[in-house]
Amino acid sequence: MTTDTLIRGRLLSFRRAPEHAGDRESYLYEEDGALLVRDGKIAAVGSYSDVNPKAGAETSEIDHRPHLILPGLIDCHVHFPQMQVIASYAANLLEWLNTYTFPEECRFVESAHAQRIATQFFDEFLRQGTTTAVAYCSVHKASADAFFTESLRRGTLMIGGKVLMDRNAPQGLLDTPQLGYDETRAVIEQWHGKGRNHVAITPRFAITSTPEQMAMTQKLAEEFPDLHIQTHLSENHDEIRYTCELYPDATDYTDIYSRYGLLRKKALFGHAIHLSEREADAMAESGAVAVHCPTSNLFLGSGLFPLKAIQRREKPVTVAVATDIGGGSSYSMLKTMDEAYKIQQLLGERLNPLESFYHMTLGNAVALDLVDRIGTLDEGTDADIVVLNAAATPAMRLRMETVTSLGEELFLLQTLGDDRAVVETYVAGKASKPDGLM
Ligand code: GUN
Ligand code: ZN
């Protein structure tokens, strides 16, 4: 038997990227709106008075007024095995990786540990209103199995991959070109398309892959042309220097991935902060995505990603946004965009609140090529939904008293909001706050 749910509140869903702070055409906003949810999908969207009559007699109604109802937030770059790395004190990326991150990831050889952290991971992301994440697991197949098992149990649309790495890390974190290939294939066969799971081909970065492993990664990319690919690019100056020493024939860092056929649509390059004009052109021409990780870039002192400038180029680069847990310092996409805003301030650019909320939802769905499923409240898409309260704390409530527009409310949510502003998270139509109904 199908049971319908009617979710009432103030709806906000983007239609396209906003061109300026007052771009009213770029989004749908319904002051007294409703979503009719049926079989995990949005069956109708609009004003309450239009949608209510479409609900059957058995429909249960949840009234979230006066809160905002948005598509579930999307995080395009996280490391699932780094939940116990977040908040580690290091001078820079390479020190942080060697001192904290690699030793911690070694623990994921134990599937009981991987399963425990997977449970925590899903609890935390859903608590933060994030319904889709693009995750690196560890090198161990067991970590990918734990991640996807938990995702299947929760009914989430998640993208993840077993990391490929065969050098420059502790022995316990290394595969080989053949083992990395075989286990990635096994993860794809076992998990891709199971429930709402997607598998990404995941070479960690060029420093930890030999040319032989990169060649095997290319083979995977050719055999699975529709899969996502994720890796790291141009995050830190020492990293860039060392990478180019390891691949002396390549023109630059981006060219290494290009030579192995990894620069393409649905390929996600974490950080991509210090790109040359040539590299940005190559990214743009291929349709590859630069993933901005603002809290991580500040926390590790990696640099200021030119979010606005890179999208304004004659050949614009597609951009996604992400927390980069555990290099990032917050699980919240609201806090992430707060830091993205401040980085643009330092670069003399303006990031308006519509753009921020676009990036967390539709913008990231576009970057992932998943707009038919997530990122909007459009009819027919999956009912992944977040409910936000811009007056969640005493300080927010006080500031809300002087707010007079939707733009101001969004900016307040981004600046002062975090998990406390998340009233409810729905996964495929089901309320899923961990201390609630899960
Ligand atoms: N580059 C290679 N691995 C990592 C990682 O785990 N985190 C970050 N921020 N950068 C990386
Ligand atoms: Zn990363």
* Residue-level pLDDT, tens digit, the chain, 438 residues: 567 999 999 999 999 999 999 999 999 999 999 999 999 999 999 999 999 999 988 899 999 999 999 999 999 999 999 999 999 999 999 999 999 999 999 999 999 999 999 999 999 999 999 999 999 999 999 999 999 999 999 999 999 999 999 999 999 999 999 999 999 999 999 999 999 999 999 999 999 999 999 999 999 999 999 999 999 999 999 999 999 999 999 999 999 999 999 999 999 999 999 999 999 999 999 999 999 999 999 999 999 999 999 999 999 999 999 999 999 999 999 999 999 999 999 999 999 999 999 999 999 999 999 999 999 999 999 999 999 999 999 999 999 999 999 999 999 999 999 999 999 999 999 999 654 334
* DSSP-assigned beta bridge partners for residue 96: none
d(CA 378, CA 301): 39
Residue 90 CA to ligand 1 center (angstroms) comes to: 13
In short, whether 327's Cβ falls inside 6 Å of ligand 1 is: yes
d(CA 144, CA 189): 12
Residue 296 CA to ligand 2 center (angstroms) comes to: 9
In short, whether 77's Cβ falls inside 6 Å of ligand 1 is: no
Q: How far is CA 226 from CA 45, 133, 165, in A?
A: 30, 18, 22
In short, whether 324's Cβ falls inside 6 Å of ligand 1 is: yes
Which of 75, 76, 92, 97 for mutating ligand 1's site (highest number of atoms within 8 Å of CB)?
97
Which of 75, 84, 100, 204 for mutating ligand 1's site (highest number of atoms within 8 Å of CB)?
204
Q: Which of 204, 229, 216 is nearest to 177 (CA)?
A: 216
Report ipTM (2 d.p.). 0.99
Q: Which residues does 95 contact at the CB level (< 8 Å), separation at least 6?
A: none
In short, whether 332's Cβ falls inside 6 Å of ligand 1 is: no
Look up the pTM and report it. Answer: 0.98
